[in-house]
Amino acid sequence: MEFNQLRYFVAVAEARGFGAASQRLHISQPPLTRQIQALERDLGVKLFERSARGVELTAAGTVFLDDARQLLALRARSSRRSQAAARGESGELNLVYFGTSVFETVPTFVRRFLARFPDATISVSHMTKEAQLEAILSGVVDIGFGRFYSPTDEITIWNIGVETLHVAVADPWDKCVSGARTVSDLVGVPIVLYPRADRPSFADKVVSLFRTEGVELKVAAEVEDVTAALALTAAGIGATLVPTSVAHLRWPGVTFLELDPHKLSVPVSCVFRAHRRSPIVDSALQIVASFAKGMDES
């Protein structure tokens, strides 16, 4: 059984005759008749009966007409979906993130990607940066978001924007940091560092900022992530530095004070496999590129 035979059969059934069907299909009647006869032999049933008005479906033909239409519709749908997948417009995108990129970068990307490609789906998971790179190389993961990735030949790292820094302090905050605008203003202030692992990291950036300003860093604690750092900040253990995306959050017992945006910032990065990417990843990168342009302009 061939799809052309199904198409010919449906045309004859709807036109109620071979002559009218052959005109609709733009083929001569003899080959059309031969194709229907071959289909009947393949099915082992008679599909049409001749009548004074042309041809009529047999009981078997009536049942087969519904199935033939469904098979043709399925073929058309499968063709459209396959073509959409080849164009990178459908399929599943596996995205991973690390750190504070989940607060603004990830949701903004997901929203824009699905608005552009509504037939696609996205899975979102947390993964350390080292695990991200391994998973991307193995093809398990498509793209990752985070900061301070270690360069590798087979992974492309896009710095898609920057975020300025804020200092988070407990309410009511210590008046000695109420006017803090630079790291130099944080002399003697205990600082909660994060993350504790997966270096190089945001913690290393904070240490570097203090060192560059010639300020002795007084470490109050080193914790797993920003959530733990803000919890300790709210408890009065110390202050902590956070990017803008975190400062946009409402955190009970914590106030965010913006530091000098011209001096203090951190990158936001996207990582993906340099070669052998699927079409849907290239489509995702189009969104990342436009997203990065918007971040640079903000």
Give the model confidence (pLDDT) of 51-74 as tens digits: 877 789 999 989 999 999 999 988
End-to-end CA distance of the chain: 60
pLDDT at 127 over 50: yes
Q: Which conformational region is residue 276 in: left (phi greater than 0), alpha (psi within -120 to 50 degrees), or beta?
A: left
pLDDT at 296: 47
pLDDT at 38 over 70: yes
Structural contact between residues 142 and 95, judged by C-beta atoms closer than 8 angstroms: yes
Contacts of 240 (CB under 8 A, 6+ apart): 167, 168, 191, 192, 193, 194, 226, 229, 230, 232, 233
Q: Does domain 3-86 have CATH number 1.10.357.10?
A: no
Euclidean distance between CA atoms 178 and 180, whole angstroms: 6
pTM: 0.72
Q: What is the 3-state secondary structure (H, E, C) of 251-262?
A: CCCEEEEECCCC
The secondary structure element, H or E, covering residue 150 is none
Fold identical between 91-159+268-297 and 162-266? yes
pLDDT at 189 over 80: yes
Q: Does domain 91-159+268-297 have CATH number 3.40.190.10?
A: yes
In this prediction, residues 33-46 reach a mean pLDDT of 93
Flag the least confident range among 71-80, 90-99, 230-239, 265-274.
71-80
At position 228, the amino acid (one-letter code) is A
Euclidean distance between CA atoms 225 and 223, whole angstroms: 6
Domain positions in the chain: 3-86, 91-159+268-297, 162-266
Residue 192: exposure state from Cβ atoms within 10 A (0-12, 13-18, ≥19): buried
pLDDT at 216: 92
Flag the least confident range among 3-7, 79-83, 133-137, 166-170.
79-83
CA atoms within 13 A on the CB side of 134: 5
Average of per-residue pLDDT values in the chain: 89
CATH code at 162-266: 3.40.190.10
